Structure 1
Amino acid sequence: MTLEQLHRADIPRPILDVLHQLRERGFAVFLVGGCVRDILRGVAPKDFDVASSALPQEVQGAFKKVIPTGIQHGTVTVVIGGNHVEVTTFRSEGDYLDGRRPSSVTFERDITRDLSRRDFTINAMAYDPIGRELVDPFGGMADLQAKLIRCVRSPLERFSEDGLRPLRAVRFAAVLGFSLDPATRDAIPPTLPIFKKVALERVREEFVKLLLSPRAELGLTLLQETGLLEVFLPELAGAGEDAARLARAAAQAAPAEVEIRLAALLADLVRGAPARDIALRLKFPTKTADTLGVLTEHAFLENRTGDSDPSLRRVLAQVGPALLEPLLAAAKARVEVRQPDRLPAFLGLQDRLRALLAAKPPLTTKELALSGKDIMTTLGIGPSPQVGEATRFLLEAVLDDPTLNESERLKGLLKTWQAGKGA
């Protein structure tokens, strides 16, 4: 991790063109934040943030096409060669009154003033690739080397300004595999009242990044230990020590897909509708919530290893073909962590479920060989509740024996069923 990595970085031509043009007009201009951090880590940046001493109107005067995307906060978008490059004026900020945003923004000409408002030292570095200069007033590079998440200046002040920052600190630790600086960690519990002001949509975004990271178990543990988890996921925070530990381990063992990891995390604590309600509370999309409800309801597949084929076809009907693989993944993660001795039997069940589904049995009323109209004709009745009752009878019959799903055989079953009801 050296300056040479920054000097050799592959910076897109449109970014360099913007930097050159602003420098030629006498303005200071830097790459800032996450892109500098990632280059030093040897990771290709997802995007490049540009900060400059040029005021928004000065940036507008330097280029032919500029979009005032967030001009009140100093951000404009330069359109150059068909590419969009955001440029933000150096700034300092007024007091944070709502726990999320500054009450005012003051434009600055000094990059250090701009960096001093940022959250963590590893995000408070600026690099000028033209002058080959790194500005690192708060020791971000040393913290990168030490694998440390540390607030810029006072952690209590940083966390009191923006209630999302404590969760971001834990998320960075999980995603990067870093430790929390002791003072930064100690500042989280006393600033939880500020964290509680944060919109749950923002909390969900950070939580998902943590949950899908390679070190989700570490992140979940830090959430528990710092008190953050109690604020937005009390169901897990309030579980017993062993239950919470196993839930975290199951989430880590599951594939990095949000519904699967959530199901592995929550299934042994809440099942079905309550799990769905948690997802909705955290502002997940309704589809995600519905999926989580299904996966947690049926996640205990290790208890079905002795089930008959008809019973397993009913599981497939309840879960739906599209969710079989997510269900198997969540269930397997749970078994690996909680009952590893039952894993061979579970894998056998997994093979059976996949084979049953591959045989394409009828699992819904739409797949029956008789339509609702056919059923009414066979029974000699009109629209009535009896049609639904007959349809459910036929579905149960073909779940028991899929070979019955032929029109003539179903008609024979219906007549027998009707005669039995008449008796």
Structure 2
Amino acid sequence: MKIIVPHDVISIATILKKAGYRCYMVGGAIRDQLLGLTVKDYDLCTDALPEKIMTLFHRVIPTGIKHGTVTILYKRTSYEITTFRIDGKYSDGRRPDQISYTDDLHEDLIRRDFTINSIAYDVLNKKLIDPNNGQSDLEKKRIHAIGIPEERFREDGLRSIRACRFASQLNFFIEAKTLEGIKHCLFNISELSKERIYDELIKILQTDSPSKSFELFKESGILPLILPELSDCIGVDQKGNHDFDVYNHLIRSCDAAPSDNVELRIAALFHDIGKPDVKEFDQNGIATFYNHETVSAQIAERIMLRFRFPKERMNRILHLIRQHMFHYTEEWTDAAVRRFIRKVGRDQLEDLYLLREADIKGISLSEENDYRNLIHLKERVLLILEQENAFSIKDLDINGYDLMKQAYIPGGPRLGSILELLLEAVTENPKLNRKETLLKLAVSFYEKIK
């Protein structure tokens, strides 16, 4: 397959050549092109020292200069470029304590993590360099550590997680010795920063099949170290139509959620994670999981705080988990549907529908899933949204200022309570949403609670 090189990269390589240096594309840019995938980033390597690179280009950021990496800002794009190097000892399980530069490209390529990431491309001479047989592993769809696997994983614990992520991302398998190497190097997983693990988890959730990574986490022993709450779901059987234990239901639901919606995938992965904590048996010996949505949200919040999720993202996910146990029937009144919309929020209705679909798909092996109730609910919600209805206090035909000036209700917590009561009344009967009517109602509510 022909390797496509951006014009900017050719320009960078030409500038380096004129100064007497070589330039290669390396890593994911080559791997993904050989697999026919879209390339997102172009990483480069060279025999030029970082300080020299900074003199050859106008805008250079010393992003990782301690380890030989700088970022060239060329026109409107940034390119990471690393000087050929040999790594010393990794005492912190993340980065080498010291490095030494080399002018030998092969020395640089054999220090990398996996064979499929160690293929280089000579930009100007248009030639592939593959000393670790990465192309062979690409053909075999195999994740293969370079050299002795245990040495690679001792150097950086994140490589174990990355191996599992690449398996999902590329739909590859991890070859036996590499997988054994992961199992023997679990000690440094706990030393990884939560931010680095978070970044890998997000990338996993953006793949076509996150369950492949979670299954490899389970097989290798990583799962209880990074997501013990999910590991606790293994073997927790369920009732009714469920073909799977809680763990398998969760990872299948996660797969079933849209890959372009990370928040929804996280909600699908965690929506039943509280079931092991609330599982009980009724008088007939049938498992029950009362209030599991509340406990699941509590556990999910603990997990997301641990991994320092952005607050806004976390709150949206928690809201979906808390609301996922709605039980719609055709007997619901229009007022009940309006209350449902109020409780969920118009901006999260679509995600909640998608979560329910993923939940249903994760229940059994059957391809014939029953979405009739969900479809009917969506139709009724749409009809009500097309009408004039109040779903929040701001939709009322009155506000707190009106109540203070025209109904002589003092400001404070009671004012907020009265607005909530007015909203509830309008939810039951939208015709009440008229200013004069609401003022009279507000006065009567105030008389009762003052």
| 2:384 corresponds to | 356
8 Å Cα contact 2:252/2:361 also seen in 1: no
The 5-angstrom pairing of residues 190-209 of structure 1 reads 190-209=184-203
Matched, 1:413 2:441: yes
The answer to which of 73-82 and 235-244 deviates more is: 73-82
The answer to which of 161-170 and 230-239 deviates more is: 230-239
Deviation per CA, 1:48-88: give whole Å up to 9, x if none: 22211222244345556655443332233445556544432
Matched, 1:245 2:239: no
Can you give the 5+ residue segments of structure 1 that lack an aligned partner in the other structure? none
The 5-angstrom pairing of residues 128-277 of structure 1 reads 128-241=122-235, 242-256=245-259, 257-270=261-274, 271-277=296-302
| 1:400 corresponds to | 428
Deviation per CA, 1:104-127: give whole Å up to 9, x if none: 111011111101110000001111
Distance 1:398 1:88, change over 3 A: same
Distance 1:52 1:388, change over 3 A: closer
C-alpha distance in structure 2 between counterparts of 1:284 and 1:316, whole Å: 27
C-alpha distance in structure 1 between counterparts of 2:134 and 2:323, whole Å: 47
8 Å Cα contact 2:3/2:34 also seen in 1: no
Deviation per CA, 1:78-101: give whole Å up to 9, x if none: 455565444321001111111111
Q: SS state of the match for residue 23, structure 1?
A: helix
The 5-angstrom pairing of residues 9-408 of structure 1 reads 9-60=3-54, 62-63=56-57, 66-78=60-72, 84-241=78-235, 242-256=245-259, 257-270=261-274, 271-302=296-327, 306-338=331-363, 342-377=370-405, 379-408=407-436
C-alpha distance in structure 2 between counterparts of 1:302 and 1:384, whole Å: 36
Distance 1:19 1:382, change over 3 A: closer
Shift of 1:163: 0.8
C-alpha distance in structure 2 between counterparts of 1:98 and 1:294, whole Å: 38
The answer to which of 221-230 and 259-268 deviates more is: 221-230
The answer to which of 348-357 and 46-55 deviates more is: 348-357
For the aligned residues, what is the CA RMSD?
2.3
Q: Aligned partner of 1:109: which letter? A: D
C-alpha distance in structure 1 between counterparts of 2:129 and 2:418, whole Å: 76
- TM value normalised by structure 1: 0.91
Kindly indicate which of the two structures has a greater share of residues assigned to helix: 1
Deviation per CA, 1:220-268: give whole Å up to 9, x if none: 2222222222112111111033111111111111112111111111112
Distance 1:62 1:393, change over 3 A: closer
Q: SS state of the match for residue 188, structure 1?
A: helix
- TM value normalised by structure 2: 0.86
Distance 1:259 1:136, change over 3 A: same
Q: SS state of the match for residue 42, structure 1?
A: coil
Deviation per CA, 1:127-162: give whole Å up to 9, x if none: 113223322111100000000001011111111110
Distance 1:127 1:237, change over 3 A: same
Q: Aligned partner of 1:175: which letter? A: Q
The answer to which of 64-73 and 320-329 deviates more is: 64-73
C-alpha distance in structure 2 between counterparts of 1:18 and 1:362, whole Å: 59
Shift of 1:46: 1.5
C-alpha distance in structure 1 between counterparts of 2:250 and 2:43, whole Å: 38
Shift of 1:178: 0.3
8 Å Cα contact 1:279/1:288 also seen in 2: no
C-alpha distance in structure 1 between counterparts of 2:444 and 2:400, whole Å: 18
Shift of 1:385: 4.3
8 Å Cα contact 2:273/2:299 also seen in 1: no
